[in-house]
């Protein structure tokens, strides 16, 4: 998955480069900067002293020393002054210049914290959006694995209006068989639905257990009804042609890497995971009936019993096929993200 959102301490991530939200001196500070310096060791500070500081929006690299990452890319985010002080373009420069630096260093993977969203006060939802805008457009022309690291999930969720709408949609679409007790992320202590604890009628042992782990729900009935004349892979390739899309446009929009797409392309019988199948249906912007038909080809359905499925349905019925926004929501609800 070229762009991943993860909840982690960035100092623990094993990738080619991690990005530091530094200050202009580059001589260390609090927050993520302090955590990176203490995990990397004193040598990091020694190298930083030779760099002569850094301007807001720019990026400079050092080695990673005791970190699992090979490099640290230091960038200086803007301080939030209400939004009319060029903050957005300065923040976007941080992401872009860090990505360009990573590319120059030959990095295949890079992890970003949410720059400026701590003591510099940039609103988390706006900061996240700036990150996604720049990274996703960079990934249209470059192959790299990019992580956005969300350290403080509570503030990430609190900052976004969309989650209350999704909460409402989940409430409205509860199926009798819904089994998820943590349905509302906004009201953590919401009472459990009265039917909590009952097994879904259609779910037999294995299907039920699988779905709890992966959201990959397909009842035996539906599997029998799947048309065997056109496979998932064949339908995908046909739809790409019908939409006049290039293959690369489609798999990039689906947040799928080239290798996996090639596998699917060359094997008409390939059975993708549910996350992959949904990602392609999103990239093709299929309306709900076709969307479901495509999932059926891979043996999956969208059920009102599962949060993952309801969230996907919410976005499709809204006509919002932005995979990064969908993944933001899935991340907030602790669901598997779309892509490989
Ligand atoms: P800034 O001064 O740019 O706002 P901060 O370090 O105060 O920098 O915060 C930037 C972001 O980094 C915040 O979203 C904060 O939650 C996050 N953060 C803090 N520590 C870590 C860490 N160890 N790993 C990943 N992210 C972190």
**Interval 250-307: pLDDT, tens:** 999 999 999 999 999 999 999 999 999 999 999 999 999 999 999 999 999 999 999 9
Nearest Cα residue to atom 23 of ligand 1: 9
Mean pLDDT value across residues 308-333: 95
Mean pLDDT value across residues 317-336: 94
What is the 8-class DSSP label of residue 61?
Answer: E
149 CA distance to ligand 1 centroid (A)? 9
Residue 139, token pair as written in the block: 């990934």
Total Cβ atoms within 10 A of residue 186: 14
128 CA distance to ligand 1 centroid (A)? 12
Candidates 104, 88, 196; CA nearest to 144 is: 104
Residue 277, token pair as written in the block: 């199948």
The pTM is what?
Answer: 0.84
Residue 12, token pair as written in the block: 């623990």
CA dist 72 and 145 (Å) reads 16
Return the ∠ at Cα 77 (arms to 87 and 109), rounded to 5°: 120
Residue 325, token pair as written in the block: 């926004």
pLDDT band at 105 (very low <50, low <70, confident <90, very high): very high
Helix (H, G, I), strand (E, B) or coil at 71: strand
CA dist 66 and 64 (Å) reads 6
Nearest Cα residue to atom 10 of ligand 1: 118
CA dist 112 and 95 (Å) reads 8
Q: Is the pLDDT assigned to residue 229 strictly greater than 50?
A: yes
Q: What's the mean per-residue pLDDT of the chain?
A: 86
Ligand 1 pocket, 21 CB below 6 A?
Answer: yes
Q: How do residues 129-172 score in pLDDT, each as one tens digit?
A: 999 999 999 999 999 999 999 998 888 887 677 788 888 888 88
CA distances from 247 to 11, 148, 252, 258, 264 (A): 36, 26, 9, 9, 12
CA dist 143 and 260 (Å) reads 13
93 CA distance to ligand 1 centroid (A)? 18
Ligand 1 pocket, 33 CB below 6 A?
Answer: yes
C-alpha of 227 from chain center: 32
Question: Which pLDDT belongs to residue 180?
Answer: 52
In terms of pLDDT, which residue wins out, 340 or 338?
338
Ligand 1 pocket, 11 CB below 6 A?
Answer: yes
What is the 8-class DSSP label of residue 131?
Answer: H
Q: Is the pLDDT assigned to residue 216 strictly greater than 50?
A: no
Catalytic positions are: 33
CA dist 319 and 64 (Å) reads 43
C-alpha of 14 from chain center: 18
Secondary structure tally for the chain: helices H, strands E: 15, 6
Ligand 1 pocket, 111 CB below 6 A?
Answer: no
Q: Is the pLDDT assigned to residue 203 strictly greater than 70?
A: no
Q: Is the pLDDT assigned to residue 127 strictly greater than 50?
A: yes
């Amino acid at each position: 998955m070229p762009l991943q959102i993860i909840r982690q301490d960035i100092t623990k991530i094993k990738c080619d480069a991690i990005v530091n939200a530094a200050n202009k001196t580059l001589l260390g500070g609090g927050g993520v900067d302090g955590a990176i310096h203490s995990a990397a060791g004193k040598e990091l500070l020694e190298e930083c002293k030779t760099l002569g500081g850094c301007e807001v929006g720019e990026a400079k690299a050092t080695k990673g020393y005791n970190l699992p990452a090979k490099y640290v890319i230091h960038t200086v985010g803007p301080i939030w002054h209400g939004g009319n002080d060029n903050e957005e373009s300065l923040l976007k420069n941080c992401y872009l210049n860090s990505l360009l630096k990573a590319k120059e260093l030959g990095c295949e993977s890079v992890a970003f914290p949410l720059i400026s969203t701590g003591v510099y006060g940039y609103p988390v939802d706006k900061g996240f959006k700036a990150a996604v805008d720049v990274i996703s457009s960079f990934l249209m022309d470059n192959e790299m694995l990019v992580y956005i690291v969300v350290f403080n999930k509570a503030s990430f969720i609190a900052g976004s209006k969309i989650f209350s709408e999704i909460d409402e949609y989940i409430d409205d679409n509860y199926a009798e068989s819904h089994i998820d007790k943590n349905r509302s992320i906004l009201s953590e202590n919401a009472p459990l639905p009265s039917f909590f604890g009952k097994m879904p009628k259609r779910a037999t042992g294995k299907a039920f257990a699988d779905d709890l782990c992966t959201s990959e729900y397909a009842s035996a009935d539906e599997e029998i009804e799947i048309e065997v004349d056109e496979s998932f892979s064949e339908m995908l390739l046909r739809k790409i042609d019908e939409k006049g899309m290039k293959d690369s446009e489609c798999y990039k929009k689906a947040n799928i890497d080239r290798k996996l797409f090639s596998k699917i392309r060359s094997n008409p019988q390939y059975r993708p995971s549910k996350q992959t199948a949904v990602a392609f249906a999103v990239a093709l912007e299929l309306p709900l009936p076709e969307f479901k038909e495509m999932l059926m080809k891979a043996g999956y359905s969208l059920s009102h019993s599962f949060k993952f499925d309801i969230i996907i349905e919410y976005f499709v019925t809204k006509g919002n096929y932005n995979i990064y926004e969908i993944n933001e929501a899935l991340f907030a609800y602790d669901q598997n993200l779309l892509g490989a």
